[in-house]
Amino acid sequence: MALDKPYLDIPGTTIFDLDESRKGYWLNQFCMSLMKAENRARYKANECAYLEEWPMTEEQKQAVMARDLNRCVASGGNIYFLGKIGAADGRSFQYMAGSMTGMSEEAYRKMMIDGGRSIEGNRTIVEKK
Amino acid sequence: MARISASVYTSHVPAIGAAIDLGKTAEPYWAPLFAGYEPSKAWLKANTPDVIFLVFNDHATAFSLEIVPTFAIGVAAQYLPADEGYGARPVPKVIGHPELASHIAQSVIQDDFDLTIVNRMDVDHGLTVPLSLMCGQPAAWPCPVIPFAVNVVLYPVPSGNRCFQLGRAIRKAVASYDQNLRVQIWGTGGMSHQLHGPRAGLINREFDHAFLDQLIADPAGLARKPHVEYMREAGAEAVELVMWLIARGAMDDAEPGGEAPHVRHRFYHVPASNTAVGHLILENR
């Protein structure tokens, strides 16, 4: 019998469960490697070559190169791991989160100061439509 | 005999740590947030415990995907602030309490909670930001700290009720320790926030205030809230709030006949970066 996953209908959201984790294992482990200063330096010197050292899918590598965090999440990335890519780029967490919403950095920052994104219309995929 | 004297609840947003470290606390963006913690700093100065049992979560810092413990207790003599990719925070190292930590581990495991024992762990903003909020920038933290890491990154995370019951077991463990120690238990993380995807930036004030109200008045009822409600109503990453229930379960009134705690301080502020910041201090009578 399939497991109950009552969170699959939350719009614009991917819950990082064990299926996602299995899919994204090497992508997330690559991100983890950027915690070490010497790895960050090698990665920044030659991103492509560094990514080739990891058994990631082509889609995962392309998503990282494009800094497209939504694509990274879709291929099993978790935001706390993906945050290491942004840290290596010197980006804040707010920049990274905002980059996934389709909003400009300024508009996202302003939305947060104004109290954040409303829950109304954002509970379920059905409600969203 | 050791005793839990109080519990503290607070969000642990990394940007708060950066604001403190970079001297930005008086800037208009940050000033209202830090003002909300001024009474807390005074309270902690007047009520410094002998040990803080600090419930937090690791954010892909000490634990990669290689090993993901659901509950992990630090029994080491000390812990260093982690380099989370921006360089380590310039904060004091964390001094542990190996004797009490080992005592709690032994008691709680024999009480059916299967903890992972950690002898070496760098601690990330989840642990150091609450200390900074409550203590400011001291040369050393005011007392030893027992780090207690909960997996809230890889789903499924422990249920609210599991956390609440674990808190009760921790209270019992502390009470059976021979030395006369005053122990505080801190629950950290939350409140509303979602850090990923097109729904990032979600904040639900009504949810957060209702959570604070129920945490004070009806924690056993709150412990029955299913994960999906946190994730749907307050953002995927708001599920961190289950950690507050560990601290709440360790208070006197979680036991039959126990007296309800005094509410010493309550504070709420939006935003800190992507997140709603909530804060409570509850004191046992």
Q: Are B76 and B148 in contact (CB under 8 A)?
A: no
Q: Is the pLDDT of residue A128 over 80?
A: no
Q: Which residues of B touch A113 (CB under 8 A)?
A: 29, 271
Q: How many domains does chain A have?
A: 1
- B110-167: pLDDT as tens digits: 999 999 999 999 999 999 999 999 999 999 999 999 999 999 999 999 999 999 999 9
- Residue B186 bridge partners (DSSP): B8, B54
How far, in Å, CA of B1 to CA of B174, rounded? Answer: 8
Q: Is the pLDDT of residue B257 over 80?
A: yes
Q: Which residues of B touch A116 (CB under 8 A)?
A: 192, 201-203, 270-271, 276
Q: Is the pLDDT of residue A41 over 90?
A: yes
What was the pLDDT predicted at B1?
87
* CA-CA-CA-CA dihedral for B61, B66, B72, B76, to nearest 10: -70
Of B84, B201, B228, the CB nearest to A112: B201
B59 is catalytic: no
Domain that holds residue A83: 18-90
Mutate to test the interface with A, among B12, B33, B61, B65 (most CBs of A within 10 A): B65
- CA-CA distances (angstroms) from residue A38 to A44, A51, B52? 10, 15, 35
Architecture of domain B3-283: 3-Layer(aba) Sandwich (3.40)
The alpha-carbon gap from A8 to the nearest alpha carbon of chain B, in Å, equals 10
At B73, which amino acid appears?
A: I
How, if at all, do strands B51-56 and B3-10 pair?
Answer: unpaired
For chain B, give every domain's residue range.
3-283
**Average pLDDT of the residues in B34-61:** 98
- A79-120: pLDDT as tens digits: 999 999 999 999 988 999 999 999 999 999 999 999 999 999
- This prediction's pTM: 0.98
- B61-83: pLDDT as tens digits: 999 999 999 999 999 999 999 99
pLDDT range class, residue B29, cuts 50, 70, 90: very high
The alpha-carbon gap from A33 to the nearest alpha carbon of chain B, in Å, equals 9
What interface predicted TM-score (ipTM) does this complex get?
A: 0.96
| Total Cβ atoms within 10 A of residue B77 | 12
Estimate the crossing angle of helix B125-135 against helix B38-46, to 10 degrees. 80
Q: Which residues of B touch A12 (CB under 8 A)?
A: 197-200
- CA-CA distances (angstroms) from residue B155 to A5, B172, B204? 11, 29, 22
What was the pLDDT predicted at B85?
82
Of B59, B197, B201, the CB nearest to A14: B197
Catalytic residue of the set B59, B103, B125, B279: B125
- Residue B278 bridge partners (DSSP): B268
CATH code at A78?
1.10.700.10
Closest CA to B49 of B134, B128, B119, B120: B134
Closest CA to B230 of B208, B212, B199, B213: B208
How, if at all, do strands B116-118 and B3-10 pair?
Answer: unpaired
